């Protein structure tokens, strides 16, 4: 899988390397992943330089190549014309997972259901939020792919749309005019390229993710709590704990996430909105595009493919992107910190290995486990709660000083939750008196934000 999501190039790349002459065998052999597309031979188009084949064009294979290209473009047109071919992504993910996963047994599904039911009982005393999930599911890796695809569309579309649009916007006018009808084909090929990359990324992620909420956002349908028992079993092998104990602990984390997202209506949209704001900040290295455009032959698909291969986009360079990413990281830290604190309170005295598992998952999330690394490659940004420990300590202190109801009441409105500055000194935030009454705090904030009325006299009376 490519390390450059949707055409992003590494920020520390050496631009001089782009100008070095290629040796035989160098250069992108299959940068779009076309060799992985259904019906395509390994390596991509046979005999076409730059498209995965060996050097030298084989006329005898021209008909096969054009037939395959026509099938690909027909599939792109039938996919709805969006920036990512999600049908292709799902198909590729299923193909790559076919040999790695198997159908779940009835015993596995029953164990997940029982673990979630028990976790819900334990959580009732640890949070003011009632149970959020109305369904308990055990998913195979392929079931996770299918259930999560609508959320991936929300997460990937803003970034992919901006990358595709920025590439075209950055082309010089003469290059766009010269390309002519090829521009539509370019968009279709881009949708296939993004779909291919997403499919490979989802296959890798589906083989590792433990729950529906592991990336910090519930990726499945609303009110569905789900675990992936096959992945949980693999995860358990590295822990010196009974499998049932690990399953219950993960079930408690999943159920806690569901309670928070179901009963805090603004939370999921706020996270997705930050992703969209991040995408809007993507900028194009126009000098790089102009340089590449001079050498593009619009009639040569290989040249277009190589130009789109990467190196033109430099993520997280604008103030808007940095601000959006900071908001994402803070929000994710607060979510993960709340879940960490609530689960610790709910299971701490019931599971002997709870503290050890808590530390393992803290490190997995905060340092960037498989889920975070794959997500960064697929979407182009990291959903990593870097300050998870500070946030967990803050929620613990709030629970001690204000009780469960007072702690959870802070989620009533986005203006009430702690900020990144509050994570610097959790004890000071927990000790504040003005946040003990959320309604009073909201009224105070509303008064502070209310614009001055130019028609109002001193003392509050209206002017004549």
pLDDT at 118 over 90: yes
Q: How confident is the model at residue 368 (pLDDT cuts 50, 70, 90)?
A: low
* Range in 51-55, 94-98, 329-333, 409-413 the model is least confident about: 51-55
Output 261-265 pairs: Cβ under 8 A, ≥24 positions apart: 261/132, 261/213, 261/217, 261/218, 262/129, 262/132, 262/133, 262/222, 262/223, 263/129, 263/130, 263/132, 263/411, 264/411
- Does residue 18 or residue 183 have the better pLDDT? 183
Output 447-450 pairs: Cβ under 8 A, ≥24 positions apart: none
Please, are residues 211 and 228 in contact by the beta-carbon 8 Å criterion?
Answer: yes
Q: How confident is the model at residue 304 (pLDDT cuts 50, 70, 90)?
A: low
- Compute the half-sphere exposure of residue 456: CA atoms within 13 Å on the CB side of its CA: 6
Q: Give the C-alpha separation, 96 to 86, whole Å.
A: 15
Token match 């819900």: residue? 120
- Does residue 388 or residue 137 have the better pLDDT? 137
Q: 45's torsion region: left (phi>0), alpha (psi -120 to 50) or beta?
A: beta
pLDDT at 294 over 80: no
pLDDT at site 250: 97
What mean pLDDT is predicted for residues 169-178?
A: 67
Using the CB atoms, write b or e for 422-437: b if 16+ within 10 Å: bbeebeebbeeeebee
* Range in 13-17, 108-112, 219-223, 230-234 the model is least confident about: 13-17
Q: How confident is the model at residue 36 (pLDDT cuts 50, 70, 90)?
A: very low
Q: Mean pLDDT, the chain, as a whole number?
A: 75
pLDDT at site 438: 61
pLDDT at site 398: 96
* Range in 103-107, 124-128, 429-433 the model is least confident about: 429-433
**Greatest mean pLDDT among 4-13, 116-125, 234-243:** 116-125
pLDDT at site 303: 62
- pTM for this prediction: 0.74
Q: How confident is the model at residue 369 (pLDDT cuts 50, 70, 90)?
A: low
- Compute the half-sphere exposure of residue 104: CA atoms within 13 Å on the CB side of its CA: 22
Reduced to 3 DSSP states, what percent helix, strand and coil does the chain have, rounded to the nearest 5? 60, 5, 35
pLDDT at site 75: 53
Tell me the two tokens of residue 99.
Answer: 């040999």
């Amino acid at each position: 899988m490519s390390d450059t999501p949707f055409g992003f190039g590494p920020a520390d790349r050496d631009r001089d390397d782009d100008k070095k002459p290629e040796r035989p065998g160098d250069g992108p052999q299959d940068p779009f992943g076309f060799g992985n597309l259904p019906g395509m031979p390994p390596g991509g188009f046979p005999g076409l330089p730059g498209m995965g084949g060996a050097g030298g064009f084989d006329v005898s294979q021209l008909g096969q190549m054009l037939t395959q290209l026509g099938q690909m473009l027909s599939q792109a047109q039938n996919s709805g014309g969006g920036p990512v071919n999600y049908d292709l992504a799902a198909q590729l993910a299923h193909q790559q997972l076919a040999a790695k996963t198997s159908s779940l047994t009835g015993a596995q599904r029953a164990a997940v259901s029982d673990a979630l039911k028990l976790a819900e009982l334990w959580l009732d005393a640890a949070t003011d939020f009632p149970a959020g999930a109305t369904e308990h599911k055990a998913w195979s890796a392929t079931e996770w792919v299918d259930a999560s695809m609508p959320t991936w569309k929300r997460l990937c579309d803003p970034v992919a749309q901006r990358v595709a649009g920025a590439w075209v916007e950055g082309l010089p006018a003469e290059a766009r005019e010269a390309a002519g009808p090829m521009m539509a084909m370019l968009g279709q090929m881009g949708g296939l390229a993004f779909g291919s990359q997403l499919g490979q990324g989802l296959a890798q992620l589906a083989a590792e993710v433990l729950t529906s909420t592991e990336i910090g956002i519930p990726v499945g349908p609303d009110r569905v709590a789900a675990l992936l028992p096959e992945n949980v079993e693999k995860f358990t092998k590295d822990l010196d704990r009974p499998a049932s104990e690990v399953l219950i602990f993960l079930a408690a984390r999943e159920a806690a996430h569901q309670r928070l997202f179901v009963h805090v209506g603004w939370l999921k949209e706020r996270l997705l909105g930050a992703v969209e704001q991040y995408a809007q900040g993507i900028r194009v290295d126009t000098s790089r595009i102009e340089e590449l455009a001079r050498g593009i032959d619009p009639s040569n698909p290989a040249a277009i493919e190589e130009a789109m291969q990467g190196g033109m986009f430099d993520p997280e360079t604008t103030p808007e992107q940095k601000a959006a990413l900071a908001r994402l990281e803070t929000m994710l830290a607060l979510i993960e910190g709340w879940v960490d604190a609530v689960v610790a309170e709910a299971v701490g005295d019931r599971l002997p290995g709870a503290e050890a598992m808590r530390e393992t998952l803290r490190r997995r999330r905060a340092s960037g486990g498989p889920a975070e690394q794959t997500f960064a490659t697929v979407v182009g940004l990291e959903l990593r709660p870097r300050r998870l420990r500070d946030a967990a300590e803050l929620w613990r202190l709030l629970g001690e000083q204000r009780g469960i109801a007072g702690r959870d009441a802070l989620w009533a409105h986005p203006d009430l939750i702690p900020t990144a500055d509050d994570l610097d000194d959790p004890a000071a935030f927990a000790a504040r008196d003005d946040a003990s009454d959320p309604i009073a705090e909201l009224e105070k904030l509303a008064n502070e934000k209310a614009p001055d009325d130019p028609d109002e006299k001193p003392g509050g009376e209206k002017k004549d």
